[in-house]
């Protein structure tokens, strides 16, 4: 009996120690990432402050770093376009799905749900490649309308970001609308409100859920890399501010981290750390925002 | 209210909104269709041959991405094993051992980790993790004479193995959160019943893990689907070398996603390269579809 107990104890100790080791290792690794990005990135940002936010990258192999101005602007432009199209579309689509009554409406709502859920699971590189395919199929026709039309452009990048992040925003808002108890919905209807006005009132009731969904969608847009390879393509110079800008390649912070990180030049690697630190701070802000918004509920 | 009902006289608002839903649905269909259509030239020319050979020679327009397919499966499977160990450890210690006050700290930290852009993981993997793994894991194992099985590492440490470890770290926050939430929600009476058998705490924990095996399966499927599709981080650490011996994990290689990401700048220079990349993407799409189908079958959605 005594030996039996001690093998049990031994086994128990082994299990506990391996669980604890896994726990500590996971925390250590994640902590190391956060610490390294902050340490390496902050050093570069601090020593090149404010230039890092406005300058174009320096030539490779020199001591100067330059800045990620064009990439910051690119991310801002891409996200602004994709977000301003994505928000109304995901809101309206969610309202339609949640408030559908007639059979054809229900069918379409279910279809939207299924398809967007599928889209969430698509690898984002596939989405990006597809947008590139669509854009290059359109190019011969669009060239007659717009001479400078190219598949690698700000427009394609924005479309790709839209496709990557709208399914998330739509799914969360729709879940929120679905979670409203039926009696609340009926109470609003009983005031004589139509379906659209009802949804508007219900969305007000869900305000923090909606804002959290939007901030998560925004975070996905900001942190997306793979979908931009074939679409935004990347660029290290400022675009000219005219309508042609939409049809030219554009840089983004994530692409900057990728390209500069993969080069062997020390100053470009530093630039990559700086870009990843800026990106980290952006996603941290959005993460905290979504947390604070959801805490009320 | 009045405004809406007046508007209703002219047109049904919901009919107008339905256009948006139609656009969303058709855009998803279009995304899949364009993959199929664009890959047709190489499907007609080569059939399924590209899936069965490892060759990437744009100059003679010969493409076969078995090496990338193998790289994807090897890295994702290896990542799955590592991340399962990490995330079970995380979830169990979180749910059973650490004081209640510390829980929000760990939870928020891991959720934050899940929200870090993948390209940052990639940079860290390239500059920190790969050299570390090379000097402390790969080289000792090679010294032990295991190089016939694992191959020799590259000077920078970029390899399929590094990619797998990085993927494991990336998917751990998500998969541990799935296990964690389920573990915390095990009813008290089941816990008490287990303790009443006179079991030790770790034995209870092991039985609890058996009890929530469906959630663990869900976590496995979710992490596999993530690992298969992940691009930026993998492309940075996998080495991007055509490696027909993709099972020798210490060597650099390719995954499907990193092949697409790495080859796209020169894709348009060759006639069949764009179709070949789309074909590869289609294969990736079907793999992730299959994994998600399994996920749906396993019953629990996240």
Task: Give per-residue pLDDT as tens, B135-194.
Answer: 999 999 999 988 888 988 888 999 999 999 999 999 999 999 999 999 999 999 998 999
pLDDT in tens, B69-79: 999 999 999 99
A250: phi then psi, degrees, rounded to nearest 5: -140, 150
Instruction: Pull the structure tokens for residue A2.
Output: 């005594």
Q: A238 lies in which domain range?
A: 69-277
Alpha carbons B211 and B214: distance in angstroms, whole number:
8
Number of domains in chain A: 1
Per-residue pLDDT at A279 exceeds 60: yes
**pLDDT score recorded for residue A261:** 94
Residues in A touching B29 (Cβ below 8 Å): 115
Classify burial at A199, counting beta carbons within 10 Å of its beta carbon; exposed 0-12, middle 13-18, buried 19 or more: buried
Q: Judge whether B161 is closer than 8 Å to chain A, CB to CB.
A: no
Helices (H), B66-198: 66-92, 103-115, 118-124, 130-133, 139-141, 147-150, 160-184, 188-196
Mutate to test the interface with B, among A21, A117, A121 (most CBs of B within 10 A): A121
Q: How far is A144 from chain B (nearest CA, A)?
A: 21
Per-residue pLDDT at A2 exceeds 80: no
Among A72-76, B108-112, B281-285, B289-293, the range scoring the smallest mean pLDDT is B289-293
Number of domains in chain B: 2
Reported as type and span, the H/E element at residue B134 is none
Same-domain pairing of B285 and B198: yes
* Segments of A3-130 assigned E as strands: none
Same-domain pairing of B154 and B200: yes
Same-domain pairing of B9 and B108: no
- Average pLDDT over chain A reads 91
Residue A114, SS3?
helix
Model ipTM? 0.94
Q: Judge whether B23 is closer than 8 Å to chain A, CB to CB.
A: yes
pLDDT band at B293 (very low <50, low <70, confident <90, very high): confident
Report the CATH number at residue B183: 1.10.3720.10
Is the CB of residue A130 less than 8 Å from the CB of residue B31? yes
Same-domain pairing of B195 and B285: yes
Q: How far is B229 from chain A (nearest CA, A)?
A: 4
Residue B262 lies in a domain: yes
pLDDT band at A245 (very low <50, low <70, confident <90, very high): confident
pLDDT, mean of residues A62-67: 89
Same-domain pairing of B110 and B257: yes
Instruction: Pull the structure tokens for residue A156.
Output: 């394609």
The residue behind tokens 């009996």 is A1
Facing B25 at nearest CB: one of A19, A115, A273: A115
Alpha carbons A255 and A71: distance in angstroms, whole number:
8
Residue A292 lies in a domain: no
Alpha carbons A261 and B119: distance in angstroms, whole number:
10
Task: Between A241 and B43, name the one with better pLDDT.
Answer: B43
Percent of chain A with pLDDT strictly greater than 70:
98
Q: Judge whether B5 is closer than 8 Å to chain A, CB to CB.
A: yes
pLDDT, mean of residues B22-36: 94
**pLDDT score recorded for residue B58:** 87
Compute the half-sphere exposure of residue A276: CA atoms within 13 Å on the CB side of its CA: 34
**pLDDT score recorded for residue B120:** 96
Alpha carbons B274 and A133: distance in angstroms, whole number:
9
pLDDT band at B9 (very low <50, low <70, confident <90, very high): very low
Residue B210 lies in a domain: yes
Residue A27 lies in a domain: no
Residue A157 lies in a domain: yes
Residue A7 lies in a domain: no
A71, A81, A229: which is closest to A159 by C-alpha?
A: A81
How far from A270 is each of A34, A38, A264, B235, CA to CA, in Å?
Answer: 16, 12, 11, 19
Residue B166 lies in a domain: yes
Residue A103 lies in a domain: yes
Facing A126 at nearest CB: one of B169, B285, B292: B285
Same-domain pairing of B42 and B59: no
**pLDDT score recorded for residue B268:** 81
Residue A44 lies in a domain: no
Is the CB of residue A74 less than 8 Å from the CB of residue A277? no
Residue in chain B lying closest to A252 (CA): B119
Per-residue pLDDT at A239 exceeds 90: no
**pLDDT score recorded for residue A196:** 85
Percent of chain A with pLDDT strictly greater than 90:
68
Same-domain pairing of B146 and B18: no
Residue A57, SS3?
strand
Interchain proximity B24–A112, CB inside 8 Å: yes
Beta-strand relationship, B62-65 and B54-57: antiparallel
Alpha carbons A158 and A179: distance in angstroms, whole number:
31
Per-residue pLDDT at B2 exceeds 90: no
pTM of the complete model beyond 0.95: no
Per-residue pLDDT at B256 exceeds 70: yes
Residue A50 lies in a domain: no
pLDDT, mean of residues A54-76: 92
Per-residue pLDDT at B280 exceeds 90: yes
Facing B120 at nearest CB: one of A124, A197, A257: A257
Same-domain pairing of B182 and B283: yes
Q: How far is A92 from chain B (nearest CA, A)?
A: 6
Residue in chain A lying closest to B302 (CA): A117
Q: B245 lies in which domain range?
A: 49-297
Residue B220 lies in a domain: yes
Same-domain pairing of B141 and B236: yes
Same-domain pairing of B61 and B188: yes
Task: Between B4 and A280, name the one with better pLDDT.
Answer: A280
Interchain proximity A257–B112, CB inside 8 Å: no
pLDDT, mean of residues B7-15: 65
Per-residue pLDDT at A145 exceeds 50: yes
Facing A125 at nearest CB: one of B109, B124, B257: B257
Same-domain pairing of B229 and B290: yes
B174, B166, B184: which is closest to B123 by C-alpha?
A: B166
Q: How far is B144 from chain A (nearest CA, A)?
A: 24
Residue in chain A lying closest to B94 (CA): A23
Is the CB of residue A239 less than 8 Å from the CB of residue A135? no
B206, B257, B251: which is closest to B233 by C-alpha?
A: B257
pLDDT, mean of residues B89-115: 92
Report the CATH number at residue A87: 1.10.3720.10
pLDDT in tens, A149-204: 888 999 999 999 999 999 999 999 999 999 999 899 889 989 888 888 888 999 99
Residue B89 lies in a domain: yes
Helix axis angle for B2-10 and B13-46, nearest 10°, is: 60
pLDDT in tens, A194-225: 888 888 999 998 898 999 999 999 999 999 99
Task: Between B299 and B164, name the one with better pLDDT.
Answer: B164
**pLDDT score recorded for residue B1:** 47
pLDDT, mean of residues A251-271: 93
Mutate to test the interface with A, among B23, B202, B275 (most CBs of A within 10 A): B202
A62, A53, A67: which is closest to A272 by C-alpha?
A: A67
Same-domain pairing of B57 and B42: no
Residue B302 lies in a domain: no
Interchain proximity B23–A130, CB inside 8 Å: no
Residue A171 lies in a domain: yes
A158, A159, A139, A135: which is closest to A148 by C-alpha?
A: A139
Interchain proximity A12–B230, CB inside 8 Å: no
């Amino acid at each position: 009996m005594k030996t039996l107990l001690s093998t049990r104890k031994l086994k128990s100790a082994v299990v506990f120690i391996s669980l604890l080791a896994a726990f500590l290792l996971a925390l250590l690794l994640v902590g190391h990432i956060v610490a390294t990005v902050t340490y390496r990135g902050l050093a570069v940002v601090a020593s090149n402050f404010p230039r890092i936010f406005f300058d174009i990258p320096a030539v490779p192999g020199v001591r100067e770093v330059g800045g990620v101005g064009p990439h910051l602007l690119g991310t801002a432009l891409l996200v602004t376009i994709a977000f301003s199209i994505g928000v109304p579309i995901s809101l309206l689509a969610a309202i339609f799905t949640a408030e559908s009554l007639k059979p054809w409406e229900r069918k379409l709502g279910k279809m939207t749900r299924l398809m967007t859920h599928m889209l969430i699971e698509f690898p984002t590189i596939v989405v990006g490649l597809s947008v590139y395919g669509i854009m290059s199929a359109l190019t011969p026709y669009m060239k007659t309308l717009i001479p400078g039309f190219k598949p690698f452009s700000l427009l394609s990048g924005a479309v790709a970001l839209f496709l990557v992040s709208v399914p998330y925003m739509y799914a969360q808002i729709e879940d929120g609308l679905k979670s409203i108890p039926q009696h609340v919905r009926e109470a609003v209807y009983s005031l004589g409100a139509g379906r659209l006005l009802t949804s508007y009132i219900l969305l007000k009731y869900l305000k923090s859920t909606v804002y959290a969904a939007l901030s998560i969608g925004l975070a996905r847009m900001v942190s997306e890399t793979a979908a931009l390879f074939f679409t935004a393509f990347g660029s290290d110079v400022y675009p000219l501010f005219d309508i042609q800008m939409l049809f030219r390649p554009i840089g983004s912070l994530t692409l900057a981290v990728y390209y500069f990180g993969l080069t062997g030049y020390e100053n470009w690697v530093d630039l990559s750390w700086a870009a990843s630190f800026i990106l980290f701070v952006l996603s941290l802000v959005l993460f905290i925002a979504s947390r604070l918004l959801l805490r009320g509920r | 209210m009045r405004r809406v009902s007046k508007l209703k006289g002219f047109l049904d608002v919901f009919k107008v909104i339905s256009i948006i839903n139609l656009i969303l649905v058709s855009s998803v269909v279009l995304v899949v269709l364009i993959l199929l259509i664009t890959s047709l030239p190489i499907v007609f020319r080569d059939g399924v041959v590209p899936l069965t050979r490892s060759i990437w020679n744009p100059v003679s327009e010969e493409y076969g991405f078995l090496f990338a397919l193998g790289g994807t499966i090897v890295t994702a499977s290896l990542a799955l094993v590592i991340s399962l160990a990490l995330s079970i450890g995380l979830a169990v210690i979180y749910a059973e051992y650490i004081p209640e006050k510390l829980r929000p700290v760990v939870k928020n930290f891991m959720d934050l980790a899940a929200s870090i852009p993948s390209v940052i993981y990639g940079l860290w993997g390239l500059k920190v993790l790969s050299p570390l793994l090379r000097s402390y894991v790969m080289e000792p194992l090679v010294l032990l004479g295991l190089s016939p099985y694992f191959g020799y590492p590259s000077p920078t440490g970029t390899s399929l193995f590094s990619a797998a470890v990085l993927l494991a770290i990336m998917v751990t926050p998500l998969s541990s959160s799935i296990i964690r939430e389920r573990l915390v929600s095990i009813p008290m009476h089941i816990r008490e019943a287990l303790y009443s058998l006179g079991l030790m705490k770790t034995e209870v924990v092991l039985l609890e893990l058996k009890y929530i095996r469906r959630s663990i399966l869900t976590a496995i499927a979710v992490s596999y689907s993530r690992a298969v599709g992940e691009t930026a981080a993998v492309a940075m650490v996998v080495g991007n070398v055509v490696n027909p011996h993709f099972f020798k994990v210490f060597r650099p290689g390719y995954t499907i996603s990193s092949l697409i990401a790495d080859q796209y700048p020169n894709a348009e220079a060759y006639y069949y390269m764009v179709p070949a990349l789309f074909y590869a993407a289609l294969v990736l799409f079907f793999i992730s579809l299959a994994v998600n189908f399994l996920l749906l079958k396993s019953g629990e959605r996240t």
